[in-house]
Structure 1
Amino acid sequence: MEWRKCYLDMVLVPSGLLINIAYHAWLWYRVRTHPLTTLIGTYAKAQRFWVPAMMKDIDKRSILAVQTLRNMIMGSTLMATTSILLCAGLAAIISSTYSVKKPLIDTVYGAQGEFMLSLKYVTLLIIFLLSFFSLSLSITFLNKVNILVSVVEDPMPVTTPQYVSDVLEKGYVLSIVGNRIFYAALPLLLWIFGPVLVFLCSVTMVAVLYNLDFLDQCGNGKVFQCRNLDSA
């Protein structure tokens, strides 16, 4: 009987995750091929121009550079703190015998046995740990950029604008990965109440992210112009 109750969990939860993974695979492809059609690609392109501009006139723009990097670090720190706090809460729930581990509503669709509940909490714990790991690495790279961007005179040609841009891009990519892993875990939080909400929330989140990630810069006869900019 318990196996039959797992049917919805086995179908809807992986389907929701596959929709999320397929969307981000397509988004990665668009960022690599046509970056200016996405917000992520446009921002990455802008960073390539921002770093040389800051390093060229760092005496006058040092405050602007520090404030910009500080805001990026604060954003990653906030998400990393939220992730580790959720991990601590989930670890406390898993290790306890409190009644919160039992189903909150008896009429919830899907399996609600001890094994399934443990699987739900462990899956959430692993995903939030991965998010925290990516965000903490992002903070590390952004802190390095905070120092490298202020280097004016370097006897060895190491801290070039190209090198600093590469380090900044790594921090930016790790921040995006950590945030997207965190967003993927949000629908799974509803798995406690059943797999149906997980699937509906995943579809809704993909629709919302699509409207936020993609730009309409290449519309209205500007496809050729955007392709030339993408190849620059």
Structure 2
Amino acid sequence: MSFEKQDLDLVLVPSGLLVMLVYHLFLLFRCINRPHTTVIGFENNDKKAWVARIMQVDYKDVGTALTVINSNTSAATFLCSVSLTLSSLIGAWLGSSSTSVFQSDLIYGDTRPLTISIKYICLLSCFLLSFFFFVQSARHFVHANYLISTPLTDAPVEYVEVAVIRGSNFWSLGLRALYFALNLLLWFFGPIPMFVSSLVMVTILHYLDSNSRPLHKHQYPSSRNHNSHTNQGLKRVGELISEVGLTAQIRGRRLPDQVGV
């Protein structure tokens, strides 16, 4: 019976990890070659338009942009702290000599101490990888904050776009590492929950990552056109004021003539 449990771990656990890995490689291929079919590419298109518009406003009006960047930075920092805390707890638990609660006979799978240690190490690796990705995400968002808040800057828009897009991409990678950690966490309860969780998660992620809407082509009036429209409007208002003044002057001259008659 023990051999059957070990054989089940050797089949289902690599199969579940392979399903997750193949899906994310397929998602990476779509993000590179067909970004419009993914939610990541759809959101990155909107973020590029947001950066292009933010870089056109006056320096005194960038407060809203800095609030958005700061909220993303705070979220990345929070998840970074959570990942580091969980990594520390797992490391302390792994280093303790207490008997593991996951070696019960109720768990249908390999419950040997060596396998339990491998589970802890895999889970710890996922949390540490998530910590690294969220740190990089916060780093790029902070850099974007510096570029946007620089007064009278002539930095190209592409620099800010790269910082914001990279921060978002590292955020996505950190979440994917947490998804892998969830599957490995269920491995503690046996290979069957882990394999089923991998299939369910891939199905849900495929639904959430797919995009069928066309990319919106954001178009904003340039500052030159805006100024020309403004000047034309002011010119038209000036002409109307001149016509009103001329009409009033003519009527003022006619009024005494009529009184004299």
Partners in 1 of 2:196 and 2:75 — Cα distance? 28
SS of 2:62's equivalent in the other structure is: helix
Matches within 5 A, 1:100-179: 101-103=100-102, 105-154=104-153, 159-179=155-175
Query: Counterpart of 2:207?
Result: 211
Identity of aligned residues (%): 33
- Conserved 8 A contact 2:66-2:148: no
Q: Deviations over 1:185-230 (max 9, x none)?
A: 1011011111111000111111111111112226xxxxxxx6x97x
Q: Is residue 180 from structure 1 mapped to residue 176 from structure 2 by the alignment? A: yes
Q: 1:26 offset after TM fit, Å?
A: 1.1
Q: 1:104 offset after TM fit, Å?
A: 5.5
SS of 2:149's equivalent in the other structure is: coil
Aligned length: 217
Q: Deviations over 1:138-194 (max 9, x none)?
A: 10111110110122424xx5x211111112221111111111111111011011111
- Conserved 8 A contact 1:6-1:111: yes
| Structure 1 unmatched runs, 5+ | 219-225
- Conserved 8 A contact 2:103-2:112: no
Q: 1:57 offset after TM fit, Å?
A: 0.3
Q: 1:118 offset after TM fit, Å?
A: 0.6
Partners in 1 of 2:206 and 2:58 — Cα distance? 37
Q: Is residue 51 from structure 1 mapped to residue 51 from structure 2 by the alignment? A: yes
The one-letter amino acid of 1:210's match is H
Q: 1:123 offset after TM fit, Å?
A: 0.9
Q: 1:107 offset after TM fit, Å?
A: 2.5
TM-score w.r.t. length of structure 2: 0.77
The one-letter amino acid of 1:213's match is D
Instruction: Please identify, of 209-218 and 193-202, the stretch whose mean Cα deviation from structure 2 is larger.
Output: 209-218
- Conserved 8 A contact 1:135-1:175: yes
- Conserved 8 A contact 1:58-1:150: no
Q: Where do 4+ consecutive residues of structure 1 move more than 4 Å?
A: 1-4
SS of 1:105's equivalent in the other structure is: coil
Q: 1:177 to 1:213 in 2, by over 3 A?
A: same
Q: Deviations over 1:12-37 (max 9, x none)?
A: 11111111111111111112222122
Query: Counterpart of 1:41?
Result: 41
Q: 1:58 to 1:18 in 2, by over 3 A?
A: farther
Q: Is residue 31 from structure 1 mapped to residue 56 from structure 2 by the alignment? A: no
The one-letter amino acid of 1:114's match is P
The one-letter amino acid of 1:185's match is A
Q: Is residue 84 from structure 1 mapped to residue 80 from structure 2 by the alignment? A: no
- Conserved 8 A contact 2:73-2:141: yes
- Conserved 8 A contact 2:139-2:167: yes
Q: 1:2 offset after TM fit, Å?
A: 5.1
The one-letter amino acid of 1:84's match is L
User: Greater Rg, structure 1 or structure 2?
Assistant: 2
Query: Counterpart of 1:223?
Result: none
Task: Say what the alpha-carbon RMSD is for the aligned residues.
Answer: 1.9
Partners in 1 of 2:186 and 2:84 — Cα distance? 19
Matches within 5 A, 1:3-18: 4-18=4-18
Q: 1:45 offset after TM fit, Å?
A: 1.2
- Conserved 8 A contact 2:104-2:111: no
- Conserved 8 A contact 2:38-2:209: yes
- Conserved 8 A contact 2:42-2:211: no
- Conserved 8 A contact 1:55-1:150: no
Query: Counterpart of 1:222?
Result: none
Q: 1:60 offset after TM fit, Å?
A: 5.1
Query: Counterpart of 1:221?
Result: none
Relative contact order higher in (CA < 8 Å, ≥ 6 apart)? 1
Partners in 2 of 1:186 and 1:63 — Cα distance? 37
